Amino acid sequence: MSENLLEIKDLYVSAGEKEILKGINLKINKGEIHVIMGPNGSGKSTTANAIFNNPSYKKTNGKIEFCNEDITNLRTDEIARKGVFMSFQLPEEIPGVSVTNFLKYAKNKATGKPVKIFEFKDELKKYMDELNMNPKNMERSLNVGFSGGEKKKNEILQMLVLNPKLAILDETDSGLDVDAIRTVSKGIEMFKNNENGVLIITHNTKILSSLKVDYVHVLVDGKIVKTGTQELAKEIEEKGYSQYK
């Protein structure tokens, strides 16, 4: 029997005066990869931000449980410490903080244990090799001067190093070429096991061409209007979202 990782129950979310999510229900079990697809403005990124309790978004109804614990109103850092990771559509640039130091600090905060630097650097190098990343990037300021593809690979590197229970990838495939998408897909496959889960948020089907997923959810106007297998993504690719509006 699959174990419950994340469950969203009848979630309504507003930003300012605008209601964006209008009763979302979603359940992710350990070992599963889920995809939320939908047109721009449908509420995909709001769903990710609501899970993380971003204060810019207000929950007006519903509940979010992670590993059967209510995390609806926890602070973002508390949710992250429980094992939830989110990669951003537009990753921040942090001048003066190297990729290595950022990851070392983040790992220390996530695990509460000191990081053994030589083992850590070996682990970083191994992952960067797998993701076709330039090893010189380890000492560069985080995301400063990085291309779009390098920034997205950096997010996948963070996911691998921090090894969360649930990884939420918001538009990770946005603006990437075919090779970069394959690399991102490879990173997701390296990460995924029977004890964790992945939620991919996207508005197109490119990443699904090189990644096997368990469930695809179509989100339109703040509601999940259809759930299916990978075949549903192919149907969206052919027919678009107009049939659900």
pLDDT tens digits for 70-115? 999 999 999 999 999 998 777 889 999 999 999 999 999 888 888 8
Strand partners, 226: 218
Q: What mean pLDDT comes out for the span 51-64?
A: 95
How many Å apart are CA 132 and CA 130, to the nearest integer?
6
pLDDT tops 80 at residue 245: no
Amino acid (one-letter) located at 221: D
- Residue 212's SS3 state is coil
Strand partners, 169: 87, 200
Mean pLDDT, the chain, integer: 90
User: What token pair was written down for 13?
Assistant: 């979310």
Secondary-structure breakdown of the chain: helix, strand, coil percentages, each rounded to the nearest 5: 40, 30, 30
Q: What mean pLDDT comes out for the span 62-67?
A: 97
Kindly give the pairing relationship between strand 84-87 and strand 197-202: unpaired
pLDDT tops 70 at residue 201: yes
What is residue 133's DSSP assignment?
-
In sequence order, the 6+-apart residues with CB closer than 8 A to the CB of 238 are none
Q: Which CATH number fits domain 4-95+161-244: 3.40.50.10610, 3.20.20.100, 1.20.1250.20, 3.40.50.300?
A: 3.40.50.300
CA distance to 61, 64, 68, 83, 107, per residue, from 78 (Å): 21, 14, 15, 9, 14
Lowest mean pLDDT among 6-20, 63-77, 135-149: 135-149
- Please report which confidence band the pLDDT of residue 1 belongs to, taking 50, 70 and 90 as the band edges: very low
> Domains of the chain: which residue ranges?
4-95+161-244
pTM score: 0.93
Residue-wise pLDDT tens digits, 147-186 = 888 888 899 999 999 999 999 998 877 777 788 888 889 9
Rg (CA), the chain: 18
- Torsion, CA 231, CA 236, CA 238, CA 242, rounded to 10: 150
Q: What mean pLDDT comes out for the span 113-136?
A: 90
